[in-house]
């Protein structure tokens, strides 16, 4: 069984500890790297061609607009080969109650027939939002495993928990 860890994460200005903080590395990236290292999995960072604004609030406005418009922002280097991948640990922050639209751009480019998607969602209290249901509705060819919600400000301390969860869901 081959696992891919694909993630979208945002360094720089993020919300945490009750206000805007500056992160040298995005919370989701911290967890994705730990999981990929433990599983010996390939790691794919979902990055938009046009970077999001540096300002946190400008980014949230853009994310809301993309969600409302059901946009599919272009991503850099879409994954070209899913051959042999049976599971994707899919990491993303909760943006407006679901995954960022760039994550959908990535998923739309993949052959998900029979692939297990294990959603890993960082947030500051909003949990998985509707992302698990959105994944099931939008990608019915895939099996969506029970996801893991991690408070972003706890990401570094939660790497062990995330690794244990990933081991369990990708081996199921």
- Asked if pLDDT for residue 33 goes beyond 80, the answer is yes
The pLDDT value recorded for residue 83 is 84
Confidence of residue 17 (pLDDT cuts 50, 70, 90): confident
Query: 22 has which bridge partners?
Result: 13
- Asked if pLDDT for residue 159 goes beyond 90, the answer is yes
pTM value is 0.96
Confidence of residue 36 (pLDDT cuts 50, 70, 90): very high
Confidence of residue 82 (pLDDT cuts 50, 70, 90): confident
Task: Give me the domains of the chain, ranges plus CATH numbers.
Answer: 2-171 (3.40.50.360)
Confidence of residue 1 (pLDDT cuts 50, 70, 90): low
Span 141-152, average pLDDT:
97
Contact 123, 41 (CB under 8 A): no
The pLDDT value recorded for residue 8 is 98
């Amino acid at each position: 069984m081959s696992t891919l860890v694909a993630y979208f994460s945002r360094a720089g200005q993020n919300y945490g500890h009750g206000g805007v903080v500056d992160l040298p590395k995005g919370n989701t990236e911290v967890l994705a790297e730990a999981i990929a290292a433990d599983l010996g999995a390939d790691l794919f960072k979902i990055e938009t061609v046009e970077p999001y604004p540096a300002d946190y609030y400008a980014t949230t406005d853009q994310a809301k607009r993309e969600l409302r418009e059901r946009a599919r922002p272009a991503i850099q280097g879409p994954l070209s080969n899913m051959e042999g991948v049976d599971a994707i640990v899919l990491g993303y922050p909760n943006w407006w109650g679901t995954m960022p639209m760039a994550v959908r751009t990535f998923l739309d480019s993949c052959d998900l027939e029979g692939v297990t998607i294990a959603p890993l969602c960082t947030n500051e209290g909003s949990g998985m939002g509707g992302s698990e249901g959105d994944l099931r509705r939008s990608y019915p060819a895939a099996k969506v495993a029970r996801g893991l919600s991690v408070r972003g400000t706890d990401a570094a301390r939660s790497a062990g928990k995330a690794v244990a969860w990933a081991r369990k869901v990708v081996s199921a």
